[in-house]
Amino acid sequence: MSSIHAAPPIIDTSLVAQAANLTPQERAKFYNRDLDALQGNLGYEFNDKMLLDEALCHSSFAHEHGLYVTNERLEFLGDSVLSFVIARALYKIYPDASEGELTKMRAALVCSQSLIERAVKIKLPDMMLIGKSFKFDTPKSLYEDALEALIGAVTLDGGILAAEKVIKKLFLKISDLQALSEFDYSSLNLNLNINKSKPESKNSNNKNNNIKIKQESNLPKVNSDFKSKLQVWLQARHLPLPEYKLISSTGPDHAPEFLVSAKIYINNDKELSAQASGTNKKRAEAKAAELLLKELEELKLI
């Protein structure tokens, strides 16, 4: 008596093996696709090209030709991997962001429009195999699905680290992180003192640029995005994250004055520091970060 868990018969599901089912025009498209260019745009070369073929084959094409291969299962996998990798990256980049803030940032990076734009940028639509029903009016959601399928294929072919590398290349460039500044960071307390090992000075006369204390103006709103901009600049150069420290808190309860310092290391023997004051700690930190950014501009590092 056969078991209900018996393994299914082995079938060669590769598109190459099934190419006989394609018309001459479709075979020409299949073989003439520049998959090397696509892999170059991904920053990853597949070991198993069957996985790449599978990721590019939409179900409409497969159903029209009786093929076994579609990209739906890979899409399922890639969607989960993409969400996880982006979530973990944002968790590390913004250690004090709340769940709600992290959710909004992740949504901005993995929303449909974002996926479609990135798929078009790597010329993924030109590589896809799509059925005749979509020949003249291809829903852009198919590009989104194919990109997720590609990420799933990379995961199976090279592992999670390979997928993470591809995702960072496509979704977490400096411009992508800077685009997150469009969110309201006023509620973020990006106290980034998570790198406890400080670069040691090579001499006792450490090149320390101390910026004069600058009082906060009476403007009702301060651009707190200076902290995230400073953080992005440092992370792009693999430098330690900023250190913010509360120096003092003075004044009456109804009109407190907070003095904070901010410090960054721009190489092993050079650091920049700034002090600023404000009516709350976040405003003071934002002002200090602004001063450091101005100093970096003066040094022509930005």
Annotated active-site residue 54? The verdict is no
Q: Please name the residues in contact with 197: beta carbons below 8 A apart, sequence gap of 6 or more.
A: 240
Structure tokens at 2: 């056969």
Four-point Cα dihedral 247, 251, 254, 260, nearest 10:
-20
Task: Considering the candidates 54, 75, 148, 225, report the single residue annotated as catalytic.
Answer: 148
Catalytic residue selected from 53, 54, 75, 79: 79
137 has catalytic annotation: no
Contact by Cβ (8 Å): 130, 138 = yes
Using DSSP, state whether 22 is helix, strand or coil: coil
Distance CA 78, CA 162 (A): 12
- Report whether 56 contacts 127 (CB < 8 A): yes
Tokens of 51: 């996985």
Tokens 């190489």, residue?
Answer: 267
Cα 167 from Cα 43, distance rounded (Å) = 10
Whole-number Cα distances in Å, 193 to 23, 94, 212, 265, 277: 61, 11, 22, 12, 19
**Which residues carry out catalysis?**
79, 148
